[in-house]
Amino acid sequence: MTDRELLLAAQEVRKNAYAPYSDFAVGAALLCEDGRVFTGCNVENHSYPAGCCAERVALFSAVAAGVRRFKAIAVTGWQRDVAGRPCMPCGICRQALSEFSYDLRVITGTPDDILTHNLQELLPFAFGM
Ligand code: THU
């Protein structure tokens, strides 16, 4: 699975985003160490805090399937006025992902202009007990 393929999977699942309040559709594709890919989109709600980000939907699906080690996550977002700007994972999602794979590769941008970061770089000194 290449970074490009993972980003394309994120773009595909982004089509299912339920984002009537923000109009910001996000897709995420999480590559597990065993090669499986779990995807997620953001799901909003009338009661705003009840919604969930695409990254955590993908992460929690994977954990519910018994997977706890991950290699990479691709994230893609879209809204009219931020077109062209990469969609980076929010702070809560960075923390949630760090619980399982602090060395995760984070893939953003577009299939033709891919950006990669390490989660440790995006969330230095993550909280842990
Ligand atoms: N969102 C994500 O899905 N992932 C992020 O990392 C940042 C934000 C969603 C949440 C909400 O549905 C919309 O984008 C606007 O914040």
For residue range 32-43, list pLDDT tens digits in order.
999 999 999 999
Nearest CA to ligand 1 atom 6: 89
Catalytic: 12?
no
Those residues of the chain that have pLDDT short of 50 are: none
Percentage of the residues of the chain whose pLDDT score is greater than 70: 95
Q: Domain spanning 3-122 has what CATH number?
A: 3.40.140.10
* CA separation for the pair 16, 74 (Å, rounded): 16
Cα of 68 to ligand 1 centre, how many Å? 23
Q: Is 13 in the pocket of ligand 1 (CB under 6 A)?
A: no
H/E segment holding residue 39: strand 37-41
* Catalytic residue selected from 5, 12, 55, 121: 55
Q: Is 52 in the pocket of ligand 1 (CB under 6 A)?
A: no
